[in-house]
Amino acid sequence: MKLSKSVVGILIFILGLIVLGITNPSSERHKEQINAKCHDLNPITGVLGGCDLFAQYALGYHDYLLFSTTKFSGDNTSTVSIGFLHMVFVIKNLDINLNMK
């Protein structure tokens, strides 16, 4: 039995969607990555627990089934991180010193 190229293409596309859905990172994974990035950029704030509080309470998690994002809770336009395939990328600069200027 020989499948046409279009059927194979559709099957590969569906398989890709399934893989993206299964490997979508959780809210906790986003918070861990944001917390780690905050600790790297702001060691004093990290030691005092500010990064933990920021990651726990100042972010909103948005699950789009194939990928996920976190945004500042009060401002749904500022994306902090994007996640897919079990990976989370922090795209917002979390350096407190730069953001206060």
Q: pLDDT tens digit string along 46-59?
A: 777 788 888 887 88
The pLDDT assigned to 9 comes to 92
Whole-structure pTM over 0.85, yes or no? no
Segments forming the whole domain that contains residue 44: 5-99
The pLDDT assigned to 92 comes to 85
The pLDDT assigned to 13 comes to 96
The pLDDT assigned to 42 comes to 82
Closest Cα to residue 55, out of 37, 67, 82? 37
Burial class of residue 97 in the structure, from the number of CB atoms within 10 Å of its CB (0-12 exposed, 13-18 middle, 19+ buried): exposed
Share of the chain above pLDDT 70, in %: 90
Q: For the chain, what is the domain count?
A: 1
Residue 37, Ramachandran bin (φ over 0: left; ψ between -120 and 50: alpha; else beta)? alpha
Token pair 């500010």: residue: 50
The pLDDT assigned to 100 comes to 45
